[in-house]
Amino acid sequence: MKRLTLDGLEALFAALRGQGFELIGPQLRDAALVLGPLEHAAELPVGWTDTAQDGGRYRLARRPDRAHFGYVVGPQSWKRYLFPPEEVLFRARRSGEGFALDPAEPPPRRAFIGVRACDLAAIQVQDRIFVHDPGYQARRAAAFIVAVNCTEAGGTCFCVSQDTGPQARGGFDLALTELCTDARHAFVAEAGSAAGAALLDALPGEAADAADLAAARDAIAHAAAHMGRRLDNAGLAEALRARLEHPHWQQVAERCLSCGNCTMVCPTCFCANVEDRASLDGDSAERVRSWDSCFNLEHSYIVGGNVRSSGAARYRQWLTHKLAHWHDQFGVSGCTGCGRCITWCPVGIDITAEAAALRAG
Ligand code: SF4
Ligand code: SF4
């Protein structure tokens, strides 16, 4: 473990740029913290926080300090870089009597800066979903992950319930814990891969001492003790399977707009639509995959009609897939406790509250 100063953080950014990585990290845009390219540590949302999140509520506020990672998660997750909202799976052009496929482009090498533990878990979930997807696997192999341990929790966070956070426990190249007090501003850095260890060795900084490690531990424990939400997973999958005809699904549907926001912001949701597009002259065609949502009526269309024609059926599909059937399909929960679906639901429907209501009913 090493203690980095602010200069050390900037040196990390420079080293990653020097290795040819495009840096992607959180930044302030349109009154939200979103992900995008950045070059320097100062471009992070320094001195901002978003922790006062609630059902259908998201506001930024100024912090009293200059913390560089003093916020939780915004509307976007790393999904958009590993499983892009729209992707050309292949493109074919007329060639002689047939068609030739364009060669696949290598993906950009990207360094993800500030990946939280819940989102690391989500990446590991999507690794299972896309295990046979060559495009996803190539983007994943080209990614360098700089995780950040949460030292504060958001109002809709429940990673402790899902056993995914707030500390990053694997799946990263480097993990940082920011210590931002009157006495000091430093980052305790831990390597999680050979590439991360080599990079950390080359950065300026001193070995973290016992006081640094204790402060980092305390800060993460503070976040763990202040989760805004909790979800009782014990027996939940069985309880949901036993309540597929429960009247509560209809009560939720009376509020749910079927807008699909919850699925767009969710870092594990993977519904997609595939469309073939041909040029007007018939000389080329491409197959495009784009995000879809189980809340879209058309998504359940099979020959003869839509099998989930009501809002209640679509909400039931989403929630039972996340919290019950996902276990059968992928061996883990489909929910990492990031809280985005609660914050970004325009009517504040809360997965933790609905699961509890169904269990109690
Ligand atoms: S279901 Fe909601 S809380 Fe769970 S991972 Fe998806 S967006 Fe986050
Ligand atoms: S639960 Fe909320 S975010 Fe999800 S589809 Fe319904 S209204 Fe939209």
pLDDT at position 34 is 98
Q: Decide if 128 contacts 161 (C-beta within 8 A).
A: no
Q: Which atom of ligand 2 is nearest to the CA of 314?
A: 5
Residue 301 tokens, joined: 């269309």
Residue nearest to atom 2 of ligand 1 (CA): 341
What pLDDT is recorded for position 344? 98
Atom of ligand 2 nearest to the CA of 311: 6
Where does ligand 2 bind, in terms of residues with CB under 6 Å?
A: 256-262, 295, 345-347, 349
pLDDT of residue 97: 86
Q: Where are the alpha helices (DSSP H) in the chain?
A: 6-18, 79-82, 117-129, 134-141, 159-162, 194-202, 210-225, 236-241, 248-255, 261-265, 311-320, 326-330, 340-343, 351-360
Residue 67, token pair as written in the block? 């913390």
Q: Tokens 């059926």 belong to which residue?
A: 313
Q: What is the mean pLDDT of each run of 10 residues along the chain (361 residues)?
A: 97 98 98 98 98 97 97 98 97 92 94 98 98 97 98 98 97 98 94 98 97 97 98 97 97 97 98 96 96 94 90 97 97 97 98 97 81
Choosing from 156, 255, 256 the residue with most ligand 2 atoms within 8 A of its CB, the one to mutate for a pocket test is 256
Q: Are strands 284-291 and 86-95 parallel, antiparallel or unpaired?
A: antiparallel
Q: How far apart are CA 83 and CA 135, in angstroms?
A: 8
* Type and span of the H or E element at 99: strand 98-101
How far, in Å, CA of 176 to CA of 165, rounded?
14
Q: How far is the CA of 323 from the centre of ligand 1 (A)?
A: 10
Tell me how far the alpha carbon of residue 347 lies from the centroid of ligand 2, in angstroms: 7
The number of CA neighbours under 13 Å toward the Cβ of 49 is 17
- If one residue of 351, 352, 354 were mutated to test the ligand 1 pocket, choosing by the most ligand atoms within 8 A of its CB, it would be 351
In contact, 86 and 75? CB cutoff 8 Å: no
Helix (H) or strand (E) segment spanning residue 291: strand 284-291
- Atom 8 (ligand 1): residue with closest C-alpha? 338
The alpha carbon of 350 and the centre of ligand 2 are apart by a number of angstroms equal to: 9
pLDDT on residue 182: 87
Residue 337 near residue 160, CB atoms below 8 Å: yes
**Atom 4 in ligand 2: which residue has the minimum CA distance?**
262
Contact of 240 with 324, CB cutoff 8 Å:
yes
**Domain locations along the chain:** 2-225, 236-360
Compute the distance between CA of residue 73 and CA of residue 66 in angstroms, rounded to an integer. 18
Q: List the residue whose alpha carbon is closest to atom 2 of ligand 2.
A: 345
| CB count in 10 Å sphere of residue 273 | 13
Look up residue 182 and give its amino acid: D
**What are the residues whose beta carbons fall under 8 Å from the beta carbon of 245, sequence distance 6 or more?**
none
| Residue 183, pLDDT score | 84
Rg of the chain over all Cα atoms, to the nearest angstrom: 22
Does the C-beta of 265 come closer than 6 Å to ligand 1? yes
Paired tokens of 28: 């302030």
Is residue 172 within 8 Å of 145, Cβ to Cβ?
Answer: yes
Kindly state if the Cβ of 351 falls inside 6 Å of ligand 1: yes
Q: Which ligand is nearest to the CA of 268?
A: 1
Kindly identify the ligand whose nearest atom is closest to the C-alpha of 255.
2
Residue with tokens 């922790």, as numbered in its chain: 51
CA distance linking residue 153 with residue 339, whole number of Å: 10
Instruction: Select from 317, 336, 342 the residue to mutate for testing ligand 1; criterion: most ligand atoms less than 8 Å from CB.
Output: 336
Q: Which two tokens stand for residue 258?
A: 């079927």
